[in-house]
Amino acid sequence: MTRLEATRLVVEAAGDSPIVASLGHPAYDLFGAGDRPQNFYTWGSMGVASSIGLGLALARPDMRVFVIDGDGSLLMNLGSLATIGLLQPPNLSVVIVDNEAYATTGGQATPTAAGADLEAAARAMRLDACTVRVEAELRAALADRRVPRAIVAKVAESAPAAKPPLDCVFIKHRFMAALGNPE
Amino acid sequence: MSPVPLWAAGVCAGLHAAGCREVVYVPDNPLSHVLTELGERYPDVRLVLATREEEAFGIAAGLYLGGRRPAVMLQSSGLGNSLNAIGSLVMPYQIPMLVVVSMRGDAGEWNAAQVPMGRAVRPIFDAFALPHVTVDSAERAADIVRVAAATAFATRIAGACLLPRRLTVAEHEGR
């Protein structure tokens, strides 16, 4: 399963629900999988995608909120798992597309390549968590409405060819309007 | 229990008057008065503990995207932990929030390790073009905080209120 294939499944499962994507290749693949107003593409702030998703989930308990994070990004903000575990938002699903590399910066190996286990980290912080390796497993995990709140999807790099819009304020306006919170 | 200091009551009243119902924080000694007052007298305000200040800015950004008016509370030392989220999320996406900074390293400081970051707070906010105001009067605290927050949400540019130790520690110690 490539990251793009995994991302397509997240978009399919999300329907009209918002998706927050970590910067770089996860955001590029979200754009490639299907640009939609409910996509929030980050262009910086490495590590905080799951925090943005948590805030959104707290603000909008009526919505299911998805986050597409990277392994390198989540490792930069592991405390986020503790906060999510503390608050137990019932509407937040964090999908970690784990390619075991900092792909956006040239493919340097992350600690998950040597066995660092993000599913175990999520469980230790009181999230429901699972690891999936093929599309059928990911599809089933995404459909599980008991929300396995952290889904570690082991993926192959998919070398995105397109990038989302660069205008940060446009991304924000479009996203907020789509969620019914126009500025 | 000692009564809440006037400045802390003012911070709470000011942020509440500006519509903030979400406070994301990393704790600090003076801020404990604000958090206690919010917990006891403002049941409509949700307090969200973050493990690190950069995370707090991310959570606050998500709250704003979801239609809320967030405040972030941190100690000045924690601003150093927040810079990338402020510089590459809060400012370029124009995500407004009230930022309340409990100052260390200014007049009355006893810990040298707090001084460099404390002295850097204002130049850093200036470099980010993030407006900041110092709450220099307990009596005016509510008004200063309310106006700073209202301006932030109206202009979509985060605004900071700095709480100097002259304000927070003297009363905290009952002087």
Q: What is the pLDDT of residue A145?
A: 77
Question: Is the pLDDT confidence value at B3 over 60?
Answer: yes
Number of domains in chain A: 1
Inform me whether the C-beta atom of residue B123 falls under 8 Å from chain A C-beta atoms: no
Q: What is the pLDDT of residue A146?
A: 67
Q: What is the pLDDT of residue B104?
A: 97
- pLDDT confidence tier of residue B118, bands split at 50, 70 and 90: very high
Distance CA B9, CA B174 (A): 15
Q: Suggest the residue from B22, B57, B65 to mutate for an interface test with chain A (most A CBs closer than 10 A).
A: B65
What mean pLDDT is predicted for residues B56-82?
Answer: 98
**Cβ separation of B46 and A87 shorter than 8 Å?**
no
Residues in chain B closer than 8 A to A82 (CB atoms): 51
Return the axis-axis angle of helices B53-65 and A49-59, rounded to nearest 10°. 40
Inform me whether the C-beta atom of residue A164 falls under 8 Å from chain B C-beta atoms: no
Question: Is the pLDDT confidence value at B119 over 60?
Answer: yes
Q: What is the pLDDT of residue A118?
A: 98
Inform me whether the C-beta atom of residue B88 falls under 8 Å from chain A C-beta atoms: yes
Residue A139: burial class (beta carbons within 10 Å; 0-12, 13-18, 19+): middle
Looking at the domain assignment, is residue A183 inside a domain? no
Residue A6's H or E segment, with its range, is helix A3-14
Looking at the domain assignment, is residue A125 inside a domain? yes
Q: Is the dihedral of CA B55, B56, B58, B59 positive or negative?
A: positive
Domains along chain B with CATH numbers: 6-129 (3.40.50.970)
What mean pLDDT is predicted for residues B54-60?
Answer: 98
CB atoms within 10 A of CB A105: 10
Q: What is the pLDDT of residue B171?
A: 47
β-sheet bridge partners, residue A150: A94, A129
What mean pLDDT is predicted for residues A8-14?
Answer: 97
Residue A52, min C-alpha distance to chain B (Å): 4
Answer whether B23's CB lies under 8 Å from B39's CB: no
- pLDDT confidence tier of residue B133, bands split at 50, 70 and 90: very high
Share of chain A above pLDDT 70, in %: 98
Q: Suggest the residue from A50, A56, A64 to mutate for an interface test with chain B (most B CBs closer than 10 A).
A: A56
* Alpha helix (H) residue ranges in B68-138: 76-79, 83-85, 115-127
Buried b / exposed e over B39-51, threshold 16 CB at 10 Å, is eeebeebbebbbb
Looking at the domain assignment, is residue A77 inside a domain? yes
- pLDDT confidence tier of residue A169, bands split at 50, 70 and 90: very high
CATH number for the domain that contains residue A90: 3.40.50.970
Question: Is the pLDDT confidence value at A147 over 70?
Answer: no
Of A146, A152, A147, A111, the residue nearest A133 (C-alpha) = A152
Residue B56's H or E segment, with its range, is helix B53-65
Report angle CA B21, A82, B157 to the nearest 5 degrees.
40
What mean pLDDT is predicted for residues B91-98?
Answer: 98
Distance CA B46, CA B26 (A): 14
**B54, B60, B93 ranked by CB distance to A55: nearest:** B60
- Identity of the amino acid at B166: R
Range(s) of the domain holding residue A122:
3-178
Of B27, B41, B37, B44, the residue nearest B6 (C-alpha) = B37
Return the axis-axis angle of helices A3-14 and A25-33, rounded to nearest 10°. 60
Q: What is the pLDDT of residue B172?
A: 46
pLDDT (tens digit, 9 = 90+) per residue, A38-76?
Answer: 999 999 999 999 999 999 999 999 999 999 999 999 999
- Which own/partner contact pairs does A132-138 have at CB distance under 8 Å and 24+ positions apart? A133/A1, A134/A1, A135/A1, A135/A5, A135/A6, A135/A9, A138/A1, A138/A6, A138/A9
Q: What's the pTM value of the predicted model, to 2 decimals?
A: 0.97
